[in-house]
A and B are shown apart, each in its own frame.
Chain A
Amino acid sequence: MTMTRRAFVEAAGAALAAVGTMPVRGWAAAGDYAPRRDLTGELTVWDWSAAPDTYGVAQQQAFYHWFPEQHPKLRFRMTMYGYTDMLPKLEVSYRGGGGPDVARTAIAWSSRFIAADVFQPIDLARLGLSAKNFWPQALQTVQKPGDPSGTLYGIPSNNEAMMLVWNKALFRAAGLDPAKTPDTWDDLASYSKRIHDKTGQAGFGLVAKLNNGNTPFRFAPVMWAYGGSIFDELATPTTWKKVGIDGPGTVAALDLYNRLFNVDKSVEPSALNDAQADVATLFLGGKVAMMIAHPSDAAQAHSLNPSIELAAGLLPRGPARRAVVFGGSNIHVRKGASNMDQVDEFLRAYESPNWNARLAGLGSNPANRVAEHAPAQKERDKLLLFNDVTFEMIQYGVNVPLVAQGAHIWNETIPTMIQKVLLKQTSPQQAAAEAAADVRQVMRA
């Protein structure tokens, strides 16, 4: 690691303070949420659960208990969904003209609804915040692609990046330095082969299940590292119009997957039917040495099997760059919501530094970067494993396809492309070309 999280925060904070143009209220002391006791009317909120992160779940419970308590006259209704559960329900509710006033959704879903124009623009200044409170990638996820006005149709709630987690004992058994992360994806493949040759266990946990969001989340970083992209997401500004998935970077990433699975056979043989949960199970059983994971996965693994010697580092880099999927969630407000006072109050509470830190759980980080200094962050620091690593990783974050058809491209097109190569149905070039044709077709439809 080149820089610890704390050092980074301090440097960033100093830099931002030097700009000196921040609204004062946004940078007020941590724990700054002052409820307006006279709030009446009603407010409906949909959120999704942080499970299996038990700390995160407890914070959500505390928050949704605490917030209505501060506003006894407010009729507050909240529904907690599962991670993949909310999307169709939101879609149908919005189509029917109903739906919640406020919904927190994963980044990958935001674009769909922003494109459908169902969200109210959000004025950060009214909440006492500014663009500087958030990561630039995070703000892109709540904008319309190519919109010069930069209007925000949502507000980031939490952001995170994955990292590489490994089992030190298996590294040692393979004669590798247990403290050293593979520097490049090519190194990772060599490590994997070496571990498999020496220990008989899978070196790297490959996630390649069809119709599963875990698969593209782990493939895209490799593709970007080799300079490949689905659209033109590596360029600034991104237009999301040019389809680039058939480029040499994608082919190189597919070659790497092919090398791991078919040539070296150094990954688990069930990879094509494995989601992250399956790989995590194998990792926990000492049958996989390295996996791409969230910090909460590491914390959970540690609590379930303390005998596993965990280590974590940055995801490897490729010839073009180091990259990771920029993850997280956004909070959106339904267009035409007439109770903006109530909505603002909720957003102020959710984005207030202490709550924003706590609600990020162990699987993510607060989106409001002021929260990195909040007292609640110190409480989290005691529980977090490798948060400095994941924090450092965020700067390499690249966005998922911020187009309305993103879900299809992400969950269907990319896994299909990978499976074609791993099952030797087509060459990597052919698979990438077919994926490009598929993307063009869904974008036309």
Chain B
Amino acid sequence: MGAVRTAAYDGIHARRAPLLSRVVPYVFVCPALALLLVVTAYPFAYSVYLSFFRTPSESMRWTFTGLANYRAVFADPVFYRVVNNTVVWTAASTLADLVLGMIAALAVNNLRVCRGPVRAALLLPYVVGYVVASYAWLWLYQGDYGLIDGTLTAWHVIAAPIPFLSSLALALPALILTNVWKTFPFAMLMLLAGLQTVPEQLVMAARLDRASSWRTFWEITVPALWPVLVVTAMLLALQNFHSFTIPWIMTGGGPLHRSEIIANYIYNQAFTQLDFGLAAATSCIISALLLAFAVVYVRVLGRGASAR
């Protein structure tokens, strides 16, 4: 559709201003491109450059070390732990976002009473910041005076408080729950918008055929929502992959790096250990891994953008 329209406008554009027509698009794109070069391309190139240098503590000068930084990253067992955590964090958060977002969207859609307030309440976590969310959940999870442990022990559900955030097994899941709380409303919002496009007649027809709501959901709603689901999943996966704040504030990556994700790891290399070269090398490794994912990503988001 976009392509057809581009052609329609392009035709008239080329006819009206034949000389300028080739230049105009570039003029429009130019400011964005210039800014992009400053804020992204330059830092990117500088990162690659930096990754070959030792930014050692013995001298304020940088010395070329070849691939030593890369070797150091690959030799660090924590790196693999962190990559593993990041994959779990991203996949679990995104999946839970979609499931919870879908449930919420279906429940809110066509709601007759209190639609506005309910939707507002569900959207609230999306609007408040990550920092606020982190501090709020830090308190809910706190083992000694937090609401969750306090309530569960008071109701005799558990005998002793569970130290969620300092447990090897529970720290990462606990943080994922916080993240899902913060991000599922976005999935709900997108799916709710998508649900408006599901043809009402199809759903009604299925109802008349006595199809179960379960079947109606899988055979009519999901296929109709598929494009929305893909875009939403992509956006959320990226957002979750880029997360930094929740583990940073709530656990600092502990215990024993079990809740540390890649952004925390790189940040610590750069700003706690002050090893900028090492941080740059890790960034480059992550970028390389991401490039493999880039093909899928631009296919989904860049529809119709291919050059002709």
Contact = CB atoms under 8 A, between A and B. Distances in A.
Interface of A: 87-88, 91, 94-95, 112, 115-118, 202, 209-212, 268-274, 278, 282, 285, 287, 404-405, 407-408, 411-412, 415-416, 419-420, 423, 425, 445
B60 interface: yes
Q: How large is the interface on B (under 10, 10 to 19, 20 to 34, 35 or more residues)?
A: 20 to 34
Given A211-B268, A212-B252, A407-B274, A116 B145 contact: no
B144 A419 contact: no
Given A210-B253, A210-B255, A419-B256, A269 B143 contact: yes
B57 A273 contact: no
Nearest to B248: A211
A269 B253 contact: no
A259 to B, nearest CB: 18
Contacts of A411: 272
B270 interface: yes
B13 to A, nearest CB: 47
B257 interface: yes
Contacts of A282: 144-145
Nearest to B270: A88
Nearest to A118: B60
A423 B56 CA distance: 33
20 contacts: A87-B271, A88-B274, A117-B59, A210-B254, A211-B268, A212-B252, A269-B166, A270-B144, A270-B165, A270-B166, A272-B163, A272-B254, A273-B171, A407-B274, A411-B272, A412-B273, A415-B254, A416-B256, A425-B256, A445-B72
B58 A419 contact: no
Interface in B147-186: 160-161, 163, 165-166, 168, 171
B166 A272 contact: yes
B58 A116 contact: yes
A202 B143 CA distance: 12
B221 interface: no
A118 B61 CA distance: 11
A273 B251 CA distance: 6
B252 A211 contact: yes
A97 B160 CA distance: 56
Given A112-B274, A407-B272, A268 B143 contact: yes
B282 interface: no
Contacts of B143: 268-270
A285 to B, nearest CB: 6
Contacts of A94: 60
Nearest 8 CB-CB pairs, A to B? A210-B254, A272-B166, A404-B57, A270-B143, A273-B166, A273-B165, A269-B163, A272-B255
B168 to A, nearest CB: 6
Contact of B145 (A88, A209, A285): A285
B254 A419 contact: yes
A270 B257 CA distance: 16
Interface string B38-56: 0000000000000000011
For A88, A272, A408, the residue with the greatest tally of chain B CB atoms inside 10 Å of its CB is A272
B160 to A, nearest CB: 7
B220 to A, nearest CB: 47
Nearest to A415: B254
Contact of A115 (B57, B160, B256, B272): B57
Contacts of B272: 211, 407, 411-412
Contacts of B161: 269
Nearest to B275: A408
B86 interface: no
Contacts of A87: 271, 274
Given A95-B60, A287-B144, A273 B256 contact: no
Given A88-B274, A211-B272, A270-B143, A404 B58 contact: yes
A270 B163 contact: yes
Contacts of A423: 168, 255-256
B142 interface: yes
B163 A209 contact: no
A87 B256 CA distance: 24
Interface in B255-308: 255-257, 268, 270-274
Given A116-B57, A269-B161, A407 B257 contact: no
B255 A419 contact: yes
Contact of A273 (B62, B72, B160, B255): B255
Contacts of A269: 143-144, 160-161, 163, 166
